[in-house]
Amino acid sequence: MGTLDGKVAIVSGSGRGIGREIALKLASEGAKVVVNDLDAEPAKETVAAIESAGGQAVTCVGSVTDTDFGERFVQTAVDNFGGLDIIVNNAGYTWDSVIQKMTDEQWDAILDVHLKAPFRILRAAQPVIAASVKNAKAAGEPIPCRKVVNISSLAGTGGNAGQANYSAAKAGVTGLTKALAKEWGRYNVTVNTVAFGLIKTRLTETPADGDGTIDVAGKEIKVGVNPNLLAAMEQMVPLGRGGTPAEAAGAVYLFCLPESDYVSAQTLVCGGGFSF
């Protein structure tokens, strides 16, 4: 028996990296998972990994910034698994510049993916959750505790040079979390944030040739941290290293457990002991 048996989860950006590990972790504990990625192949690979381990999952491919994505994401869970219990807003990327060189396009893109997209997903989920609660009350049944976990960053708690857009978006996630915890408490929904420190993913690790990019809707975005800077950053972490995606997923899982049913509106820093 898994701790999440019978639960239905949606995890944005779960074809790769931290999101993939979150999906695998939730599924390993019995949750049925809707896997999302911008590209079909990584999403299918995550679903295949879940199914090969005996779990259940389906894909919902597309950009979280599409205007209709929130409704489509939520409806995929309802259509395939009959409900919705866990929402993890994880999708995102960085597009850095010092403020005098940052374009409106950079600012808007990062605010859209990290803040507007979670807002739209949560807005789309409200009617489903409200209806389920209403039906449970009418039938005299207990109302299960549902979970929302929004992903932030130490850039959102303390700021980071060269990341005015990302820092602002992630700080906004904290505000969204606290507001929704107050709105959705009446539905027995907890809403929390996990703020990651240095987690070693494709967004932080620079290839040997020093030229790391990712493709976002046809646009090549430079990613990666200078290896020397990355080593210096790791030395600042009390645990002496960057975290793994699996460890990051573990922090998200804590907020999905029944043991955290009375914890809401909180920010958990997953940073190996380092924080601002």
Q: Write down the domain spans for the chain.
A: 8-199+242-270
102 pLDDT higher than 80: yes
What rounded mean pLDDT belongs to the chain? 94
Q: What is the pLDDT of residues 48-58, one digit of tens each?
A: 999 999 999 99
Helices (H) and strands (E) in the chain, counts: 9, 9
Please tell me the distance from the alpha carbon of residue 152 to that of residue 24, in angstroms, as a whole number: 20
Least confidently predicted of 60-69, 84-93, 155-164, 227-236: 227-236
pLDDT in the model for residue 264: 99
pLDDT in the model for residue 216: 79
Q: Mean of the pLDDT values across residues 242-267? A: 98
Strands in 146-153's sheet, in edge-to-edge order, are: 57-59, 32-35, 8-11, 86-89, 146-153, 189-196, 267-270
40 pLDDT higher than 70: yes
Q: Mean of the pLDDT values across residues 110-126? A: 98
118 pLDDT higher than 90: yes
Please tell me the distance from the alpha carbon of residue 11 to that of residue 79, in angstroms, as a whole number: 16
Instruction: Provide CB contacts within 8 A for 251, sequence distance 6+.
Output: 194, 196, 268, 270
Catalytic residues: 166
Please tell me the distance from the alpha carbon of residue 18 to that of residue 31, in angstroms, as a whole number: 17
Q: Mean of the pLDDT values across residues 231-249? A: 95
Q: Mean of the pLDDT values across residues 14-42? A: 98
Phi, psi of 38 (to 5 degrees): -65, -30
pLDDT in the model for residue 59: 98
Q: Mean of the pLDDT values across residues 78-90? A: 98
pLDDT in the model for residue 55: 98
147 pLDDT higher than 70: yes
Please tell me the distance from the alpha carbon of residue 128 to that of residue 48, in angstroms, as a whole number: 27
Mapping DSSP to helix (H, G, I), strand (E, B) and coil, where does residue 153 land?
A: strand
- What CATH number belongs to 8-199+242-270? 3.40.50.720
Q: Mean of the pLDDT values across residues 32-48? A: 98
- The terminus-to-terminus CA distance of the chain in angstroms comes to 39
226 pLDDT higher than 70: no
pLDDT in the model for residue 224: 60
> Percent of the chain, pLDDT > 70?
94
Q: What is the pLDDT of residues 181-225, one digit of tens each?
A: 999 999 999 999 999 999 999 767 655 455 567 777 677 777 666
Tokens of 242: 């960057």
41 pLDDT higher than 90: yes
Listed residue (35, 1, 39) closest to 19, CA to CA: 35
pLDDT in the model for residue 146: 99
Q: How confident is the model at residue 227 (pLDDT cuts 50, 70, 90)?
A: confident
Angle at the Cα of 103 (from 102 to 107), degrees rounded to 5?
85
pLDDT in the model for residue 225: 66
